[in-house]
Structure 1
């Protein structure tokens, strides 16, 4: 034992022991070390890697619980952060805005989902967008504008960027009361589904004969958005009673940027449902095999019957087949707004009156019996016409009778086409009364 002293005071006391002999040191067992690594590797991973969808899992389990409660369908809740959001310092970005920018962009700051704000932050401070916001500021002060301002960006909150799997493109919002709420084609209850949406329901029933429209002819499509369907209008606002009144004011550039971001960032693949030439033009820059663009005439009653027609385009089942190929089994969209699993149409051996695909099929219509594999896409026409409910005969329903008082605001392209045909004398009598 050693003791150190300074001026008669003991500062430190410690003991020194001899080192152990080499023979007393236990060597490391390499075999046991390797075994420990194997055991660690066998532990199941946590986090996202362990959350792969199970076979035959329904869409609720895959996409998570719905964010919207039935009691308040217009409200939204922002979901978990995307990778882009995690890198975005909103407060730092806000600190870089001047006072006018903060005032003009208050709606975007408060209501645009952060996953979208992170990638649109440069676009919304552009000269064109700020001019749009100055125009809207005057419009809101002097006019009735739809949808309500707090719902203009509800599409972003229902469908964060990192969850987008499909995109449906519309034109501008409905311009009647209690209709538009920020999702294209969707209307707030108790407003019944407008004619174009009613035709969309009929097309779904062709692909999935078990599909039935929601009770009370509801047109609320938030369940689709919550599953990853981006329901995006070209223009996001409109004057009450004046369709297309906010066209060419700047919304087109902004929403095209939204589309471009989806194309660039959603690298696993997205389905774009482009109905009508305006929507198809907005998808004209999408090429290659990464994404799928499905084109068709518009579902408006004035266009849906134009060859090759809207009802038999097969878009809804094609969308789900693509998503399952890219994201795995069970990753398709549950288009049915009433029941957990719509049933896809399959080829019938007994004629169009039989539907042999109602048993043993999952949400995307893939029968376990291999004899029916791929038959839904190859021969839907023969199997589905008689499976649509009698009251919804696609050739007999009168939109004006079934949806009295509800304007169809998205038929501009069809009207222009009818006018052109009339001027050329090519439109037969009664043809425009379908």
Structure 2
């Protein structure tokens, strides 16, 4: 069933789902990416208590078959251009000397990396078209919920960095340009977010993330 909110676990208690989403839902339509049953997949896969790292992006890929509900993730076997994800893979290699080819980032989510976009839906071929219809309420509430204990936050691009004021407390916050081909050379390459996060996690008694192929 599309938008089965029972799958959200502890995230279901956020006020957004009772106060904002009912009015938003008809405006989203059924022709959107990722498909409706994957809209909240990032939250479903990474519960608040399990979240060690948050990677905040922009909005889902607007190419059919490419968005899978996790920010930057692409279904294995997609076969098209990787764009932002390909640049992320290059930075992984340059940063930690390991390689990744697996495009689905399910394994990151299972390790406690919340892969969230600032908009959770997009119409096919219309980037940012859903950026201002109410998703900001959810993102703000997610960040507020995660400020209860120190966590690592990676904010890629201007849309993500606009939420920096909502991250309150003693957290690691890493900001850089978006890994999109349009902005990647403005400071994403060489930002070394993966080694920085792992060093911080180890210092705080957590297991580091395996960013490379599982």
State the distance in 2 between where 1:178 and 1:278 align: 23
State the distance in 2 between where 1:270 and 1:223 align: 19
Q: Paired residue for 2:136?
A: 252
Q: Paired residue for 1:240?
A: 124
Q: Paired residue for 1:405?
A: none
Equivalent residues of 1:178, 1:189 under 8 A apart: no
Q: Report deviation, 1:108.
A: 4.3
Q: Paired residue for 1:195?
A: 83
Q: Which runs of 5+ in 1 are unaligned?
A: 1-105, 339-434
State the distance in 2 between where 1:250 and 1:108 align: 19
Q: Paired residue for 1:36?
A: none
Q: Report deviation, 1:130.
A: 2.1
Alignment of 1:200-279 (within 5 A): 200-209=88-97, 211-214=98-101, 218-263=102-147, 265=148, 267=149, 269-279=150-160
- The structure with the largest alpha-carbon Rg is 1
* 1:162 maps to 2:49: yes
Alignment of 1:353-364 (within 5 A): none
Q: Report deviation, 1:129.
A: 2.6
Q: Report deviation, 1:123.
A: 2.4
Q: Which runs of 5+ in 2 are unaligned?
A: none
Equivalent residues of 2:83, 2:180 under 8 A apart: yes
State the distance in 1 between where 2:188 and 2:33 align: 28
The TM-score normalised by the length of structure 2 is: 0.92
Secondary structure of the corresponding residue to residue 153 of structure 2: strand
CA deviations over 1:213-255 (Å, ceiling 9, x no partner) = 31xxx42111101100000011111112221221211112112
CA deviations over 1:13-46 (Å, ceiling 9, x no partner) = xxxxxxxxxxxxxxxxxxxxxxxxxxxxxxxxxx
RMSD over aligned Cα atoms: 1.9
Q: Which has the higher contact order (CA 8 A, sep 6+)?
A: 2
Number of residue pairs aligned between Structure 1 and Structure 2: 213
Give 1:133's match in structure 2, choosing from 25, 28, 38: 25
